[in-house]
Structure 1
Amino acid sequence: MGYCNALLNIKYFGFLYSSLKRRFREMIDDEEKKKEKRNEKLLTELCECYLLLNIGASSQLISVCVPCLLKAALKKDENEEAQKEVEMALLALSCIFSHYKIEKDLYLNEMKEIIQYHEKRHNLTRLAYQSAWQFLIILSFSTNYMFDVIVDEMNFVGEAKRELEELAKCVDWKREKEEKIKGKGRKEELVFQRWLQMFESFFVACNLWNKECSGLIESIVQVFLVSRDNHSEICILCVNLFETAAENRAVKLDALLKSGAIDAVFEEFLRPASNERMAFEFIYFFQLISMRLKEEKDDEMEEAKRKELKRKIFEKMEEEGYEDIITTFYEIIDFLNKKYFSELSLRISDYLVNS
């Protein structure tokens, strides 16, 4: 249950209020207090079950679970059984929320060892490797130092880009349209979605944008293009990432233009096949772009760049008839706000780059 709960991103709220949750907590406490006589395998499995099923845990339990699961994840055996144990431990760790402040001394060296060993020996499953990075990304929210280590020392962006491109080759993009094909590539698809969901946290926290980060956007654009006809969920995840990047002032809009993100979304926006959800995401994305382009810059060079970028985007949109399209969609903005509990602007000028 816990494995499926985490892998399928299902929130099972019933566990929060169950006597089973209290029983797990008591068993973990009892086993941890045994010290030398404790059953390490039992304690590991109890911690895994608790974190995989639980949406929140006490700081006291987190301080017990993290060292225990890291010890299990440090196994170097490459047989199938050991890989499964490591995968479960890392998957459970990836379920810990960002509001827990865990001292880096309790996990950083171990996680670096796990990831760097995998990069040399490839001993982890795809899910285990993604989970290891997710654990670090989640905890990086509590300290800028952690984020710098992940990006600079551990080359998160390069590894994430490589993994995304390799996983894209394993996904059956026509699975949704060919319902008879079941099971094949399903796990890789779910891991793929976990990477995309994790990128959102990265784009929110990233405060130093570089060429490598732009390369990651380019990879996401390619995923967007191959998924748009067959996998709406992944397609929407990609647009959400473009939105998150556009909201982050550290991300230069020029990066979104050169990576092809703006062109890709605009091209899809013009297609008649777009559904209400996609229309909502596209409108929101262009609202963000328009707002960013209207921001005044104190620095003269930055202001000149903004005006040039604004000119390029305006010319492209004018050429493709964007103003007519957004005017047509403007009629349903109020409806979309009510349906998706959003606050899209009701002023059409907020979507027009030339305003």
Structure 2
Amino acid sequence: MKRTKAASKKEENEENQKEVEMALLALRRINMYRKMEKELYFNEIKEIVQHHKEHHNLTQLSYQSAWQVLIEGFCIDKSLEEVIVNELHFSSEAAREILELLKCIDWKRKEEENGRREVQMIKKWLNMIYEFFRSFTLRNEELAELMRSLIQLSRAAKGNNLVISNQCFSLLGSAAEKRNVKIDDLLKSGAIIAVLEEMKQSTLKDDIIQECLNLFYAILRRLKKEEEDEIEEAKRQIVKMELHEKMEEEGYEDAIAGFHKIIL
């Protein structure tokens, strides 16, 4: 509780800022997602994220920790989705943070010199994005921006960090499977072009080929399902009208009036 209150302080002096950062790191590591404790910490963490977006007062690691608390907490409490998606704008923030971290990495240098800390932070953002795609159902216009950042990351990591590159394509495939991700978003983000470019490479690894194919299969399944849904909806409307006409013929006017909203 004491650490949670420390995290809510907004003074800009160095001592209080260290308290905030230590509190966020501690909150990330402890299991505090029971219903009673959510009421104690959630509003403070939300305010910290909002304050950082305006003043950029946190380190990248602390800001990431705040988001980890919120994203992992969402898996327990679905009521947080509206806040995380549309109020705090996770998609845009994750995209921006990934690109900022990417600027600090020199892939040509030795691993211990090329921004190892930033690489690890990027991996944590990718894990959060996985949870985001897996659990969230709301549509928003920022998903294309998030997918564009994954494409930029995959291109930068190509030939240097296969784990990250593969994970980016895996996440794009996961996004393609989600009904809340519009196929138009996949087109706008350049995901399909990126996959086609990747598949042209003669040295492409089998696992990356599989991730690329998964994305195309997901899109084809989506298109087929949407077509089937349209057909099914047309069939349902026909059945409803036939039922309505039959009830009229049989003289069930009262029933028609009672169920008017259902059968029309």
User: What TM-score comes out, normalization by structure 2 length?
Assistant: 0.76
* Alignment check: 8 A CA contact 1:93 1:135 kept: yes
Q: Amino acid of the residue matched to residue 203 of structure 1?
A: F
Once the two structures are aligned, what percentage of the paired residues are identical?
Answer: 46
Q: 87, 101, 105: which is aligned to 1:171?
A: 105
Q: CA deviation at 1:272?
A: 1.5
1:299 corresponding residue in structure 2:
230
Q: 98, 121, 135: which is aligned to 2:69?
A: 135
| Greater Cα offset, 80-89 or 241-250 | 80-89
- List gaps (5 residues or longer) in structure 2: 235-264
Q: CA deviation at 1:288?
A: 2.2
1:307 corresponding residue in structure 2:
none
1:289 corresponding residue in structure 2:
219
Structure 1 ranges of 4+ moved more than 6 A: none
Q: Amino acid of the residue matched to residue 102 of structure 1?
A: K
Q: 161, 183, 186: which is aligned to 1:256?
A: 186
1:149 corresponding residue in structure 2:
83
Q: CA deviation at 1:224?
A: 1.6
- Tell me, yes or no, if structure 1 residue 120 matches structure 2 residue 54: yes
2:250 corresponding residue in structure 1:
none
Q: CA deviation at 1:229?
A: 2.6
Task: Give the Cα–Cα distance (whole angstroms) in 1 for the partners of residues 161 and 93 of structure 2.
Answer: 24
Q: 210, 232, 242: which is aligned to 2:140?
A: 210
2:243 corresponding residue in structure 1:
none
- Tell me, yes or no, if structure 1 residue 161 matches structure 2 residue 91: no
* Alignment check: 8 A CA contact 1:101 1:139 kept: no
User: What TM-score comes out, normalization by structure 1 length?
Assistant: 0.58
**Equivalent residue pairs, number:** 231
SS in 1 for 2:142: helix
CA RMSD of aligned residues (A): 2.7
- List gaps (5 residues or longer) in structure 1: 1-66, 304-355
Question: Could you report, residue by residue, the CA deviation over 1:293-331 in whole angstroms, capped at 9, with x for unpaired residues?
Answer: 32234337x99xxxxxxxxxxxxxxxxxxxxxxxxxxxx
* Alignment check: 8 A CA contact 1:134 1:198 kept: yes
Question: Could you report, residue by residue, the CA deviation over 1:166-185 in whole angstroms, capped at 9, with x for unpaired residues?
Answer: 222112233xxx43x62442
- Tell me, yes or no, if structure 1 residue 189 matches structure 2 residue 119: yes
* Alignment check: 8 A CA contact 1:214 1:259 kept: yes
Structure number with greater Rg is 2
- Tell me, yes or no, if structure 1 residue 272 matches structure 2 residue 187: no
Q: CA deviation at 1:242?
A: 0.7
Task: Give the Cα–Cα distance (whole angstroms) in 1 for the partners of residues 164 and 18 of structure 2.
Answer: 27
Task: Give the Cα–Cα distance (whole angstroms) in 2 for the partners of residues 97 and 213 of structure 1.
Answer: 29
